[in-house]
A and B are shown apart, each in its own frame.
Chain A
Amino acid sequence: MAMSQTLAADGPRGPKPRHRFSKRNIFIYGTLFVVAVYYLLPLYVMVVTSLKGMPEVRLGNIFSPPLEITFEPWVKAWATACTGLNCDGLSRGFWNSVRITVPSVILSIAIASVNGYALANWRFKGSELFFTILIIGAFIPYQVMLYPIVIILREIGLYGSLTGLVIVHSIFGMPILTLLFRNYFASLPEELFKAARVDGAGFWSIYLRIMLPMSVPIFVVAVILQITGIWNDFLFGVVYTRPDTYPMTVQLNNIVNSVQGVKEYNVNMAATLLTGLVPLVVYFISGKLFVRGIAAGAVKG
């Protein structure tokens, strides 16, 4: 398992294809190239547009590179774009997003990993039932749960607080994450677990000393998924917090949707890129780890 994983991570080894310009290679690279263009096009348009001035945006063709590069839209999106009276752009929301994302990611993963571990190794009567409910829960649209959650949070006195929001993120991240962790832990060799049991180790000590160190790949996946999901969340951020703790996406929505006369597409695009920057960077850095982790977590059922 461990071997095949390292192999997987480094991609297929073996001899390089012999005929560099074989029909087959042209087909493969050609297809990949065309698809890559389709995937890159929106990013290209975003970047190019965000570097143009408004007159150029209005006249020009969206695909043409900027005649005159300006960083003004970026500055505006970050620091001066207005919603209502607040003219400090996205900068207001950045730290809020960090303050929401970090604890939410930690708590949701902590809970889900323990769930997955219990479901894989310590099954008790009814545990599979709860898991099934959880999986069905993954299909419930968030909007439906908005109102019951308002009531639950109100009753436990956490409405409007950061803690409340962190709990909400943990709840809605739980189904998919638990599924991934459960599959991962189930794929670990059972002998390890049994040996530890014979040595008298309990639930937590096995989890902390044996399972955790072995599950770095799946933790990476979970962290990536959660950072993206929570960073990008708009609905919970706006409903369960208050303006001084609004995440960045709320400002993004405000900037994109408050039209002052004409739509400032360049500022919108810069704001969009700025908001997406954190998850994008996470992806670019950890793309390889991601596939490796997924390979470990999703393959074995």
Chain B
Amino acid sequence: MASTMSSAAKRPSRLFRNLSAKIASVPMILTALVVFVGGTLWTVLYSFTNSRLLPRLKFVGLDQYERLWATPRWLVSIENLAIYGILSLIFSLVIGFVLAALLDQKIRFEDTFRTIFLYPFALSFVVTGVVWQWLLNPDFGVQAVVRSLGWESFAFDPLYNSSIVIYGVLIAALWQGTGFVMCLMLAGLRGIDEDIWKAARVDGIPAWRTYLFIVLPMMRPVLVTTLVIIAAGIVKVYDLVVAQTSGGPGIASEVPAKYVYDYMFFAQNLGQGFAASTMMLLSVAIIIVPWAYLEFGRRR
């Protein structure tokens, strides 16, 4: 009896403990529940319907998914995202880290170099796409210039060559994004205690080994932040492709986010678009959830 009473008395106090914090977190909770969870459930639910222009609850089972996986364009999109994702993850991390390490060598003009590497990040993907479309245009850009210098057979037209177009997109994406990665890395390097370098030097460990085996592991938090930001950008890549290639030539540079958008709004087939976005969410979830849980869920 006493125990039930005390627990009953405790319950409200537990609910009201940290009340201000809970009230302050209302926007976050609403966003998480209504927009992200609610919106996702809504999307998943309607992916089992044959909704066209407007959502309606006429269920058709897995039809949309069957069609999705039989669509060449979707398969090309997945493949492109895989190539683009892996390469852009590797390159932006490696280039970002190397640039940061170079800038961290007590060099002169560090500010100038840093600003140069960072400024593309200030530009939108639309701008990036337009500029690189222009640079890579075979009639005007790099190819035309090299040819006009006398190398007539020089060919560099990634945007008009189906088999390499995704690398053309990658070039532009790296140009836009590595500066930011470099900044994050630089910040991480600056957080490393000077004594560690001294100790490593005393022990005679070569610089590259110090970076690889001592400094990098110490930068874990910054690497995690970077990874989240890069990976989120990769999954969402859309504007760049639209501005640079519109998915062409043909369907050679299509990406999943664009498939979703095109089928939802252009083809006016919401069901198909939702099925595609559910597949995207699912693959993200499979990779991210366990990791996010380990990373953020139960520490401290």
Instruction: Decide if A and B touch, CB cutoff 8 A.
Output: yes
Which of A63, A152, A291 neighbours the largest number of chain B CB atoms within 10 Å of its CB? A291
Asked if B159 is at the interface (CB within 8 A of a chain A CB), the reply is no
Q: Which of B241-267 contact A (CB under 8 A)?
A: 256-257, 260-261, 264-265
Q: A147-B270, A299-B187 are in contact. Are A276 and B124 (CB under 8 A)?
A: yes
Q: A28-B107, A42-B175, A141-B277 are in contact. Are A174 and B124 (CB under 8 A)?
A: no
Chain B interface SS verdict (over half): helix
Task: Establish whether residues B284 and A256, one from each chain, have CB atoms under 8 Å apart when the complex forms.
Answer: no
Asked if B29 is at the interface (CB within 8 A of a chain A CB), the reply is yes
**Complex formed: what's the CA distance from A42 to B136 in Å?**
11
User: Interface residues of A toward B: which range?
Assistant: 35 or more
Asked if A65 is at the interface (CB within 8 A of a chain B CB), the reply is no
Task: Establish whether residues A174 and B113, one from each chain, have CB atoms under 8 Å apart when the complex forms.
Answer: no
**Chain A residues closer than 8 Å to B69, beta-carbon distance:** none
Q: How many A-B residue pairs have CB under 8 A?
A: 294
Q: A137-B31, A148-B39 are in contact. Are A276 and B123 (CB under 8 A)?
A: yes
**Chain A residues closer than 8 Å to B292, beta-carbon distance:** 132, 135-136
Task: Establish whether residues B134 and A265, one from each chain, have CB atoms under 8 Å apart when the complex forms.
Answer: yes
Asked if A282 is at the interface (CB within 8 A of a chain B CB), the reply is yes
**Complex formed: what's the CA distance from A294 to B176 in Å?**
18
Task: Establish whether residues B115 and A148, one from each chain, have CB atoms under 8 Å apart when the complex forms.
Answer: no
Interface residues of A (CB under 8 A from B): 4, 7-8, 11-12, 14, 16-17, 28-29, 31-32, 35-36, 38-43, 45-46, 49, 61-63, 111, 114-115, 117-119, 122, 124, 127-149, 152, 170-171, 174-176, 178-180, 183, 186, 202-204, 228, 231-235, 249, 252-253, 256, 265, 268-269, 272, 275-276, 279-280, 282-284, 287-288, 290-292, 294-296, 298-301
Interface residues of B (CB under 8 A from A): 17-18, 20-22, 24-25, 27-29, 31-40, 42-43, 55, 99, 102-108, 110-111, 113-127, 130-132, 134-135, 140-141, 144-145, 148, 175, 179, 183-184, 186-188, 190-191, 219-222, 224-226, 228-229, 231-232, 235-236, 238-239, 256-257, 260-261, 264-265, 270, 277, 280-281, 284-285, 288-289, 292-293, 296-298, 300
30 A-B residue pairs with CB within 8 Å = A16-B106, A17-B106, A32-B102, A35-B117, A45-B135, A61-B144, A62-B144, A63-B145, A111-B28, A117-B24, A122-B18, A136-B288, A136-B292, A143-B260, A145-B35, A175-B232, A176-B232, A179-B225, A203-B20, A203-B21, A203-B24, A204-B20, A233-B124, A234-B239, A252-B126, A253-B126, A272-B130, A294-B187, A301-B220, A301-B222
